[in-house]
Structures are given as structure tokens and as C-alpha cells.
């Protein structure tokens, strides 16, 4: 899953690499006492088996229908769950089960679009909007250009089928749907003119819909769009659209398929996960990742590896979409798993290893590992460990000691916010792949690179074994302390009346606590590895007991940090709470200052009031530049519900600046706009004080855990 909406690309399209400690160039790698275990594991990896599993998941119509859609709660998803459960049993995993979770059901079976007087007979793909009845909709089809407000001016589309070219790098599908619905359209037919599906003009694109059910909405290829426009110009505009697509909120069950390799103790566990729902072939997203997960399990079983802790393999359903009427509509199956089905996992899971597009080369020279900041030191250590050389398949020029920052675009976000630290295979979803092939028919077997998949299996399998063997989880909360400190804005804090002295005093204590906690984990593991080498089982048992006790504290501290310190300025950008608030305050103040100077549009396209206004409210404000206000209001309702799934208690508050933005954009009236932005700034400012208080309290809780 990956979503890039509105003008966000200008801000976050380039993958951010957060600096860790780099291993010196050409430096000697640290020896690992677990080389024999990891070597045996790697020797047992079955790449032919992994490819066969990927191919079946991608192309078997029993598991995806003729269009390949394996969506939330659908018959195809259920059949795939049965297949995966059987596969887990075949490779020797234990306690295999299908865990049912509640989702909105989405079943797409077929669609057709014909135009009278032509040979047009296309097969569209349906978005998560209810389709037509069996007879379909027969009506005039109208070309509405790019589907923006200005394209509908003077155009009567009441009761008609509307054709629009969309660019979802510019704005998401939701507001296109709202606009067509408000104009009275009977159905919406879209094709890509930019953003996604750029590999070919003959492929269809599909994304999640973050809104409620309004009207049948389908996707066709750019070339098909051109043919329809040509037919309309020739006077052939009588269209019949049939869409066999059903969305039933609250009536679906998705299955998370679970199997495990039991450890010597079940007090702790490590999760290995990917999602099996998909669009079209979904070869990379995420069929190959499911094969990656199960190939790790198979190699561990085949090599005879006996873990210290349970290693739990989870194939999640409903990752791409699982809920109507919210921008938090994806990673639904995972959220339900960790919050409803197994909330106790948050206190016992040492780490989650999640996989996306893990058989595709992103074009990086070095292999990157994505993770939360608290695991950055582990990435650096692994890059400087001989296990990283052992895992090499030639796909990359080594493993980077810098970790790639995780965001919100996959199942890890649901687990992270619930208190589970995690890794994600880095670089899998490259910018090029996103624009070219992501969520299209072009995500097929031609994208496959066996050396990349094998290196992912080798690297992460080795990391899992090392983490499983070491008694203490090396969570480095100093990274979170640094983030809090570096993002703190004393000027805005003073304006909000926040207690900066208390914040800084508690931060100093938190730094010390974090360092002591991390140092203790390193000490335990260092002594354990020495005892392991010497075969001192008594010392090993004692250190494992110490590590387990420390891990309980570390995981609780990590959970507090995620709960109290983190928020989102949009559904795609994770920030500290005070950082998210300051981002909004900076924008509001910048708009006010520019408007006072009479600058709406600046030459640098950054410093004018209008240049900044579109970035408000997680860039949903951009809709006011191109759509009718009513449609944007409908979008806002779905983006600022703070009580839904992984967005719960994470959304930076909405600022109601539409009146001011419209005054700037359409009337160029700064006098009317300034009071609106000033009012919202004044009303928003107390949020910063509240966030800083929460952060202070969170640091106190963590400090108290350690001193207790």
C-alpha cells in the first residue's frame, strides 16, 4: 500500500533516510556468534518454491477472479486465506488459524463499458463504490475534461455518465467523486493523465477510496479514454456501463492467517508479516512479500532452527482498503488484529518484520532497511556485522548503515501506534515504480528480481535469528529524545504559554533514562554472546531472565512514546505532537504575514499567502483551489475524524480556513482573508500547550518505569 495525494509529492516524494551510525568504508565487520545458525537457515532457503507461491497468488483466478482483485472480505480473499492456511501447515508451521476481523466488504467481479455505434467494449476496473444493477446504466457519456470545478462550467451532466482524466498525484480520487456526484452525474469513468499508471497508456490504475458510497466509479486506460473522447466527438455518446461491484459497510469479515514456529518460551514473540489482498496481478504488491514471509518460515523449519521465542507468521487481509468514509481506510485488517483480536501482542512482541514489494529492485546502490527511530542503532549494528556480508546475493552493494524512516503506508503503522516496534524492507516502493506500475496490470511477473527477494529473505531472516537469540531488545529511546528536542520551538511554546522549563528538565531525565536502558540491553547481550561462545548455560539462563525483564520495561516505554509523543499532520506524515502543531502555526502565521504584505502569489511559488494556503489541513486545503467548496467539505469530513482506526488520537486538529483560502484564491482579497487565518491561529494555539503537557507526562511515565 502506498498513497501519494495532493501536492504532498513536493514535500515527501523523496524517501527520507534518517542518519544512523555508518560503518566505516572498508572497515572490518564485527563477528557474530550466530553465524552457523544463520548459514544453516540461508542454505535452506527455497527460491523456486517462493517464486511458485508468488505466481499462484498473483495469477490464479480462483484466488483473484478474472481481474485479480482480492479485496476486503471478498470471496477471493477468503479462498486465498484457505490456501495460505494450508500452505502454512504444509511447511510445518504450528497453531495455524484464520483470525476473522470486521471490515467493510468489497467484492468486484466484472464490468463492461460499451458505446452505441462503435466497437468500444471495454472492461473497466471498479473503485470501492457500489456498482450498477444487472442491466447497468444506459445514458449519454459526457467528457468533463480533468474533472475539476471549471471543467463542469456550462456542462450539464445530470443523470449522465461522466468521463474525466485524473492525476492522483495532484488530488485523490475522493474529491473527483464528490464533484461528479454534486453535479448530478449517474456514474464516473476515469483514466490517468498523470501521476500513476505512467508505464503505458494501455493499463488501468486503482487506488483506495477514502469516502462513502456516492456513485459507480471505474478506471479505464488512457488509450481507452482517448477512444471514448473520439467517439463523443463523432456524435456517438450513448453509453452502457455495467459494474458488478458491491461494497457493504459493516458486513465483511477479513481473515488474518497465522502460523508459528514455537519457541522454547512463548512469553515473547517476533512477528513476520505481509498482506495478501491486492489489485490486478499484484505480483510485487504484495504477493511476492507473502512468499517472502513464508519462505522465511519454511527455511527456518527446513534448517531445524529452534527459536528461543515464538516466531509468528501473519498474512494480513484488508491492507489496501477495509473501511468506508475515512482516510484511515487501509491497513484495516492489521489494525483489527493488534487492537481487537490480539491486543496482548503489544506487550510481548519484540519486533514486527513487515514486507512490501520485496522482489523488486528500487534502484538503490545499497540495500536499505526501514524502521522506527528506536531501532536505528540495530540497523547500524547489522550493517557492521558479518551477517550482512553473509546475506549478500549481489543485488546491492552492501547494506546501508543508515536507516530509512517508516511512515504510514503499510501495516506497520497500525502495530507501531499500538506499541509494537517494527522493520520494513527498505526501498521496495520506489518513486519510479509508484508512478509507473503501482496498482496497475504492469505490476506483473516481469518486475521480479530473484536476487532482491533472496537478499531480503537472507537479511531479515538473519536479523530475526539474531534478535531471537539475544536476550535483550536494544530499543534506543535516545533517538526519540533527540527528535523531541530538535523539533521543539521555544518561540511558539512561549506564545502558547507552555512550560518549557519543565519540558527541558524532564527531557534531560528522559535522555539519561533512555541511555541507561539501551546500555543495559547492550550489556546483557554482550555478556550473553560471551557465555554462548563459552557454552556457559547457567550464565546464559541468568542473562535471558534479565533480558526478558528488561524487555517488558522497554516495550512499555516504547508504547508510551508512540502514544504520547507522536501525531500526524496529514494521514501520511508522522511527527512529534508539538512539531505537528508548529507546522500548522508556521503556515498560518506565514500566510498572515504574506497577506499583510499584499503577496498572494510569489515568484518563488513558496512565500506568497496563496502559495502556502494549499498546504493546510494535510494539504486537503488544496481542493479549494480546483474544486467546488461543497465537494472539498465532503472530503474534509473523511479526513478529520479522529476516532477511526490508526488515526485515533493522532490527527492534528483541523483549521477551518476555507473562507480565507477562497478569498485569496478567487477574489485576491487579503483584507477578507487575514481575519479568518488569524482567528484560526488564535483558536489553534492552545493545542500546542496541550501537546507539550502530554509529552512532559509521557517522559515522566517512562522515567518512572525505569526508576521503579
Q: Crossing angle of helices 47-59/450-469, nearest 10°?
A: 110
Distance CA 113, CA 280 (A): 18
The CATH number linked to 161 is 3.50.30.30
Residues 475, 554: contact at Cβ < 8 Å?
Answer: yes
Distance CA 198, CA 319 (A): 24
Q: What is the helix (H) or strand (E) element at residue 587, kind and residue range?
A: helix 577-596
Distance CA 85, CA 362 (A): 31
Identify whether residues 527 and 662 lie together within a single domain.
yes
Please choose, from the candidates 126, 167, 170, 163, the residue with its C-alpha nearest in 3D space to the C-alpha of residue 145.
163
The CATH number linked to 455 is 3.40.630.10
Expressed as residue numbers, the domain containing 41 is 6-106+250-469
For the stretch 406-422, pLDDT in tens is 999 999 999 999 999 99
Cell representation of residue 646: 490508526
Identify whether residues 234 and 265 lie together within a single domain.
no
Cell representation of residue 19: 542518519
- Answer whether residue 80 is part of any domain: yes
Distance CA 121, CA 572 (A): 38
- Answer whether residue 128 is part of any domain: yes
Identify whether residues 52 and 120 lie together within a single domain.
no
Spatial CB neighbours of 151, under 8 Å, sequence gap ≥ 6: 144, 145, 164
What's the confidence (pLDDT) of residue 570?
75
Residue with cell 481507452: 224
- Answer whether residue 102 is part of any domain: yes
Distance CA 212, CA 639 (A): 12
Identify whether residues 400 and 488 lie together within a single domain.
no
- Answer whether residue 324 is part of any domain: yes
Beta-carbon neighbour count of residue 59 at 10 Å?
16
> In angstroms, how far is CA 634 from the centroid of its own chain?
23
Distance CA 347, CA 577 (A): 23
Residues 272, 311: contact at Cβ < 8 Å?
Answer: yes
Spatial CB neighbours of 504, under 8 Å, sequence gap ≥ 6: none
Q: With b meaning 16 or more CB within 10 Å and e meaning fewer, what string describes 16-30?
A: ebbebeebeeeeeee
Distance CA 334, CA 289 (A): 15
Identify whether residues 622 and 656 lie together within a single domain.
yes
Identify whether residues 97 and 122 lie together within a single domain.
no
Please choose, from the candidates 286, 310, 331, 225, the residue with its C-alpha nearest in 3D space to the C-alpha of residue 571.
331
Per-residue DSSP letter, 82: H
Last residue of a domain, one of 203, 218, 247: 247
Identify whether residues 157 and 174 lie together within a single domain.
yes
Identify whether residues 546 and 454 lie together within a single domain.
no
Residue with cell 489482498: 277
Distance CA 115, CA 121 (A): 7
- Answer whether residue 540 is part of any domain: yes
Q: What is the helix (H) or strand (E) element at residue 312, kind and residue range?
A: strand 309-316
Identify whether residues 223 and 317 lie together within a single domain.
no
Distance CA 294, CA 626 (A): 46
Q: Could you tell me the mean pLDDT of each successive run of 10 residues in the chain, 708 residues long?
A: 41 36 53 96 98 98 95 98 98 98 98 97 98 98 97 97 96 96 98 96 97 97 98 97 97 98 98 98 97 98 98 98 95 98 97 97 93 97 95 95 94 98 85 92 97 98 98 98 98 97 97 98 98 96 98 98 93 91 97 97 94 94 95 90 84 95 95 98 97 98 91
pTM: 0.95
Identify whether residues 436 and 288 lie together within a single domain.
yes
Q: Crossing angle of helices 500-534/670-707, nearest 10°?
A: 50
Last residue of a domain, one of 231, 247, 263: 247
Residues 463, 370: contact at Cβ < 8 Å?
Answer: no
Q: With b meaning 16 or more CB within 10 Å and e meaning fewer, what string describes 406-434?
A: bbbbbbbbbbbbbbbbbbbbbbbbbeebb
Identify whether residues 381 and 239 lie together within a single domain.
no
Distance CA 684, CA 689 (A): 10
**Coil vs helix vs strand at 26:** coil
What's the confidence (pLDDT) of residue 641?
66
Last residue of a domain, one of 211, 227, 247: 247
Three-state secondary structure of 615-664: CCHHHHHHHHHHCCHHHHHHHHHHHCCCCCHHHCCCECCCCCCHHHHHHH
Q: How many domains does the chain have?
A: 3
- Answer whether residue 1 is part of any domain: no
Identify whether residues 486 and 635 lie together within a single domain.
yes
Spatial CB neighbours of 131, under 8 Å, sequence gap ≥ 6: 108, 111, 216, 242, 243, 244, 245, 246
- Answer whether residue 691 is part of any domain: yes
Residues 225, 163: contact at Cβ < 8 Å?
Answer: yes
Phi and psi torsions of 387, nearest 5°:
-65, -30
Q: What is the helix (H) or strand (E) element at residue 682, kind and residue range?
A: helix 670-707
Amino acid at each position: 500500500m502506498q498513497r501519494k495525494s495532493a501536492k504532498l509529492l513536493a514535500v515527501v516524494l523523496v524517501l527520507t533516510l534518517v542518519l544512523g551510525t555508518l560503518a566505516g568504508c572498508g572497515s572490518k565487520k564485527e563477528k557474530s556468534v550466530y553465524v552457523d545458525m544463520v548459514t544453516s537457515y540461508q542454505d535452506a532457503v527455497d527460491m523456486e518454491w517462493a517464486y511458485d507461491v508468488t505466481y499462484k497468488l498473483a495469477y490464479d483466478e480462483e484466488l483473484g477472479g478474472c481481474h485479480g482483485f482480492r479485496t476486503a472480505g471478498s470471496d477471493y480473499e477468503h479462498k486465498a486465506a484457505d490456501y495460505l492456511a494450508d500452505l502454512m501447515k504444509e511447511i510445518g508451521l504450528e497453531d495455524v488459524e484464520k483470525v476473522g476481523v470486521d471490515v467493510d466488504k468489497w467484492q468486484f467481479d466484472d464490468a463492461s463499458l460499451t458505446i452505441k455505434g462503435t466497437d468500444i467494449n471495454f472492461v473497466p476496473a471498479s473503485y470501492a463504490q457500489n456498482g450498477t444493477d444487472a442491466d447497468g446504466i444506459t445514458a449519454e457519456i459526457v467528457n468533463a475534461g480533468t474533472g475539476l470545478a471549471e471543467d463542469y462550467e456550462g456542462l450539464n451532466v445530470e443523470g449522465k455518465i461522466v468521463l474525466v482524466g485524473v492525476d492522483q498525484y495532484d488530488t485523490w480520487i475522493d474529491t473527483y467523486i464528490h464533484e461528479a456526484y454534486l453535479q448530478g452525474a449517474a456514474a464516473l469513468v476515469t483514466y490517468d493523465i498523470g501521476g500513476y499508471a505512467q508505464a503505458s497508456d494501455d493499463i488501468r490504475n486503482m487506488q483506495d477510496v477514502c469516502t462513502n458510497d456516492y456513485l459507480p466509479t471505474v478506471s479505464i486506460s488512457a488509450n481507452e479514454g482517448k477512444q471514448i473522447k473520439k467517439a463523443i466527438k463523432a456524435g456517438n455518446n450513448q453509453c452502457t456501463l455495467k459494474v458488478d461491484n458491491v461494497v457493504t459497510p459493516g458486513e465483511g469479515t477479513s481473515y488474518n492467517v497465522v502460523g508459528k514456529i514455537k519457541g522454547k518460551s512463548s512469553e515473547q514473540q517476533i512477528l513476520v508479516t505481509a498482506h495478501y489482498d491486492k489489485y490486478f496481478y499484484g505480483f510485487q504488491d504484495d504477493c511476492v512479500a507473502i512468499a517472502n514471509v513464508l519462505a522465511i518460515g519454511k527455511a527456518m523449519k527446513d534448517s531445524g532452527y529452534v527459536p528461543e521465542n515464538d516466531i509468528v507468521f501473519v498474512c494480513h487481509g484488508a491492507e489496501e482498503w477495509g473501511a468506508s468514509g475515512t482516510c484511515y481506510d487501509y491497513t484495516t485488517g492489521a489494525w483489527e488484529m493488534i487492537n481487537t483480536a490480539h491486543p496482548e501482542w503489544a506487550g510481548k512482541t519484540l519486533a514486527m518484520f513487515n514486507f512490501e514489494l520485496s522482489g523488486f529492485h528500487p534502484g538503490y546502490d545499497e540495500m536499505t532497511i526501514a524502521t522506527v527511530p528506536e531501532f536505528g542503532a540495530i540497523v547500524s549494528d547489522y550493517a557492521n556485522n558479518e551477517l550482512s556480508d553473509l546475506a549478500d546475493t549481489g543485488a546491492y552493494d552492501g547494506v546501508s548503515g543508515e536507516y530509512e524512516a517508516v511512515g504510514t503506508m503499510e501495516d506497520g503503522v497500525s502495530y507501531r501506534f499500538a506499541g509494537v516496534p517494527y522493520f520494513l524492507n527498505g526501498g521496495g516502493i520506489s518513486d519510479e515504480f509508484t508512478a509507473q506500475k503501482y496498482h496497475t496490470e504492469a505490476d506483473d511477473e516481469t518486475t521480479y528480481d530473484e536476487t532482491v527477494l533472496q537478499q531480503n529473505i537472507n537479511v531479515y531472516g538473519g536479523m530475526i535469528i539474531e534478535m531471537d537469540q539475544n536476550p535483550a531488545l536494544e530499543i534506543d529511546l535516545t533517538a526519540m529524545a533527540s527528535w523531541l528536542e530538535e523539533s521543539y520551538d521555544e518561540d511558539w511554546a512561549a506564545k502558547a504559554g507552555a512550560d518549557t522549563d519543565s519540558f527541558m528538565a524532564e527531557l534531560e531525565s528522559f535522555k539519561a533514562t533512555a541511555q541507561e536502558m539501551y546500555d543495559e540491553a547492550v550489556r546483557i547481550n554482550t555478556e550473553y554472546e560471551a557465555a554462548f561462545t563459552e557454552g556457559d548455560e547457567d550464565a546464559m539462563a541468568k542473562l535471558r531472565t534479565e533480558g526478558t525483564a528488561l524487555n517488558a520495561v522497554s516495550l512499555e516505554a516504547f508504547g508510551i512514546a508512540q502514544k504520547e509523543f507522536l501525531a500526524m499532520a496529514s494521514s501520511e506524515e508522522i511527527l512529534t505532537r508539538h512539531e505537528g502543531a508548529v507546522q500548522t502555526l508556521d503556515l498560518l502565521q506565514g500566510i498572515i504575514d504574506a497577506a499583510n504584505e499584499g503577496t498572494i502569489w510569489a515568484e518563488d511559488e513558496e512565500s506568497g499567502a496563496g502559495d502556502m494556503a494549499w498546504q493546510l489541513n494535510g494539504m486537503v486545503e488544496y481542493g479549494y483551489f480546483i474544486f467546488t467548496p461543497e465537494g472539498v467539505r465532503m472530503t474534509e469530513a473523511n479526513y478529520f475524524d479522529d476516532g477511526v482506526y490508526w488515526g485515533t488520537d493522532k490527527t492534528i486538529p483541523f483549521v477551518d480556513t476555507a473562507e480565507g483560502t477562497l478569498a485569496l484564491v478567487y477574489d485576491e482579497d487579503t483584507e477578507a482573508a487575514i481575519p479568518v487565518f488569524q482567528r484560526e491561529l488564535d483558536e489553534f494555539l492552545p493545542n500546542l500547550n496541550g501537546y507539550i503537557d502530554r509529552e512532559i507526562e509521557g517522559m515522566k511515565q517512562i522515567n518512572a518505569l525505569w526508576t521503579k
